[in-house]
Structure 1
């Protein structure tokens, strides 16, 4: 009888562990599905926004729709990276100075002046522009400046929609997405070590996919 009880308990433990594992897998799959649905919804919103808005004569090239999701993923990464880094610095007073410095890594700067400043300082990245900027002389010099500096650029959607995607209230004429630096893996390791709620991974992969899409759609950057 004792042997039978031990076997029964062992089987119960195995079943319980399997159930927990299955729940975790299902939760992960559900989270992925929710994210996919959310991206699909936002992509439809961008399509509708662009269909019904004013598009300036200089708004070329437009980012192809198949790269919208890459763009959205980069924006999401930048947002959660900034929030996560701020949280880690505030809640860990004994954090090493080297790690604090790494956590101050920038992924995006917003606004015409900040974009120009980043390019002049020699940073590499991607410039995203709004399609409905008026009058166009506000921004018409930027595409040529990007080409002179070998910075890929593309037009995506309206000023208000860009602001919404960046979780801001004020409209956005343009933004600069920074190329990942050599410390990006250490940045991700540090964030994920201290912040378990929102993991961040693969910024380089996300950036490279978007960069490929932007370059592929622009004759100047195809050579």
Structure 2
């Protein structure tokens, strides 16, 4: 005859089963926590890598680049990109003189420029009178116009008309100023905000003296250089004319 387990044995069996169930629950909770931690860590690493990539791209984009090919065509010209070269000429005293320039851009393939007294300045200089005449004193002398400029390809345009008299900040333009005398003057021009041109000869002669205009080459380079000084042929040089020294600079 088999002996039945005592109540104490039943209690010990129930305790073992309970402890096993608790151990299983603890193991499952631990595995769940480990899985969540691993998933969160991988997401954090991915986010950090993405942030570092974006930062590197931003730093690369902030690096300035200068390239002629990157300058977009069209739009308004930048004053610092405009080159103006006065054209050497001969004219009679006691009369108006057209101031002609060759204009082009250094970098922009094509752009528009509005010529006004507020966008350009031209000066005429003489020995001991570095600012004999200026558009700053005679703003109405500027010929307002809109022109299209191209890179390294000059166009010829009349920038202003000089009345043949001196000008001053106090007297401005008018009959109270002295007329220019025969002699060699120098012309400079610049887009306001840009670089002044080299000085170009303007030979003023007495009325009746034949005018022989210098021949000007239409070629140009993107980087401005000095304008050659051409001497008129077949015309006697006026006597008693002053010798030019320093010229006006902007």
- TM-score normalised by the chain length of structure 1: 0.28
Return the structure number with greater relative CO, CA threshold 8 A, min gap 6.
Answer: 1
* Structure richer in helix, relative to its length: 1
- TM-score normalised by the chain length of structure 2: 0.25
